[in-house]
Amino acid sequence: MTETASTRYRVEHRTTYTYDDDVTDSLGVGHLLPRSLPWQQVGSYDVTVTPAPSDVNSDTDYYGNSVLYFQVTSPHTELLVVGGGDVTVSVPVVDEAALARPWEELRPLVRRDLPGAWQAADFALPSAGVPLHVGVRDYAAASLVPGRPIGEAVTDLMHRIHAEFDYDATATTVTSTVAEILAKRAGVCQDFAHLTLAALRSHGLAARYVSGYLATEPPPGKERVVGADASHAWVQVWLGGDDWLALDPTNDQWQNERYVTLAWGRDYGDVPPLKGVIFTEATTSTLAVSVDVAPVPS
């Protein structure tokens, strides 16, 4: 991959939990620090937690993602976690020769002789959030015809999912299964990413779930609405070696300079922005999330 013209962004991801009684202990895990990549340079970037944690640490997980661990032991009825900083992004350019290879030649569990096959193999296996499904395999077969170049095949699959599935935030939940998504023909970005992963893995291809942000563009003549962006999910497909093609079935396009990559894994369960456990007698809680990805003038 090589770099093209880049765009610098100021990112802020603000998450607020509120409770109707004191939380006496809150343990959290966050994937809120962007990855440093050939097409993405991370400048100053921090994650702050309020109230201040009694214990906080960071580490790198098995897939190379930055992970934050924290514990808040002071009683609180509101927990605020803010991740933000500067990120410069360019368009990943994939080798045309890699895109032209027949897709059957890029199945890491079959072609274990290929460079990078052992690293990619984990993403060709079913996972908790993306089990293999006969219906999804049959659906993908219309795109993955024998001998078709992988770039053409996976792009066709992306086009079909975008055209044949409705974006509907009320159709699914965070726990919806691939079978439910296929049956309803509707969902959100997480669902379409999981469906794409299931489709590709069912034919032996390696594909990973990517968590991040997509900078939105206001309608002509309108100003940006601060905080109107959102967390986003898309997919990367292995092309051999260190090459991956990133595509977004929700928006029917390959990854471009508007995508900020946070983390990747087998499915959403590996890389949620935040998860944790609390100790409290509260009976109700609310969650508010605000994301802003603002271009920085050069």
Please indicate, yes or no, whether residues 126 and 181 belong to a single structural domain of this protein. yes
Distance of CA 219 to the CA centre of its chain: 25
Residue 1 lies in a domain: no
Please indicate, yes or no, whether residues 139 and 281 belong to a single structural domain of this protein. no
pLDDT at site 4: 65
pLDDT at site 174: 85
Please indicate, yes or no, whether residues 251 and 103 belong to a single structural domain of this protein. yes
Mean pLDDT of the residues in the chain:
94
Please indicate, yes or no, whether residues 52 and 121 belong to a single structural domain of this protein. no
Number of domains in the chain: 2
pLDDT at site 62: 95
Q: Which domain holds residue 123?
A: 96-270
Please indicate, yes or no, whether residues 182 and 202 belong to a single structural domain of this protein. yes
User: 3 falls in which pLDDT band (50, 70, 90)?
Assistant: very low
The angle subtended at Cα 64 by Cα 60 and Cα 67, nearest 5°, is 35
- The whole-number average pLDDT for the span 190-210 is 97
d(CA 153, CA 135): 18
Residue 283 lies in a domain: yes
pLDDT of 65 strictly over 70? yes
Please indicate, yes or no, whether residues 23 and 141 belong to a single structural domain of this protein. no
Residue with more model confidence, 103 or 132: 103
The alpha-helical segments, DSSP class H, found in the chain are 96-99, 117-120, 134-141, 150-164, 178-184, 189-201
Residue 209 lies in a domain: yes
Please indicate, yes or no, whether residues 242 and 141 belong to a single structural domain of this protein. yes
Domain CATH number, residue 129: 3.10.620.30
pLDDT at site 119: 93
pLDDT of 2 strictly over 50? no
- The whole-number average pLDDT for the span 273-291 is 95
Please indicate, yes or no, whether residues 224 and 107 belong to a single structural domain of this protein. yes
Please indicate, yes or no, whether residues 71 and 132 belong to a single structural domain of this protein. no
73 CB contacts (<8 Å, ≥6 apart)? 24, 25, 26, 54
d(CA 141, CA 118): 25
Please indicate, yes or no, whether residues 175 and 57 belong to a single structural domain of this protein. no
pLDDT at site 87: 98
Listed range (137-141, 191-195, 217-221, 231-235) with the worst mean pLDDT? 217-221
pLDDT of 1 strictly over 50? no
Distance of CA 32 to the CA centre of its chain: 12
Residue 259 lies in a domain: yes
pLDDT of 77 strictly over 50? yes
- The whole-number average pLDDT for the span 275-285 is 96
pLDDT at site 221: 66
Please indicate, yes or no, whether residues 148 and 213 belong to a single structural domain of this protein. yes
Among candidates 220, 281, 231, 239, which has minimal Cα distance to 259?
231
d(CA 39, CA 35): 10
pLDDT of 31 strictly over 80? yes
Q: Which two tokens stand for residue 80?
A: 């605020």
How many other β-carbons are positioned within 10 Å of the β-carbon of residue 270?
A: 20
- The whole-number average pLDDT for the span 179-207 is 96
pLDDT at site 216: 84
d(CA 57, CA 240): 35
Residue with more model confidence, 115 or 224: 115
In the block, tokens 């066709």 appear at 156
Residue 125 lies in a domain: yes
Residue 230 lies in a domain: yes
How many other β-carbons are positioned within 10 Å of the β-carbon of residue 196?
A: 28
Residue with more model confidence, 28 or 173: 28
Structure confidence by residue, pLDDT tens digits, 218-266: 667 666 555 557 799 999 999 999 999 999 999 999 999 999 999 999 9
Please indicate, yes or no, whether residues 108 and 233 belong to a single structural domain of this protein. yes
- The whole-number average pLDDT for the span 10-24 is 97
Domain CATH number, residue 284: 2.60.40.2250
Q: What pTM does this model have? A: 0.94
d(CA 249, CA 160): 9
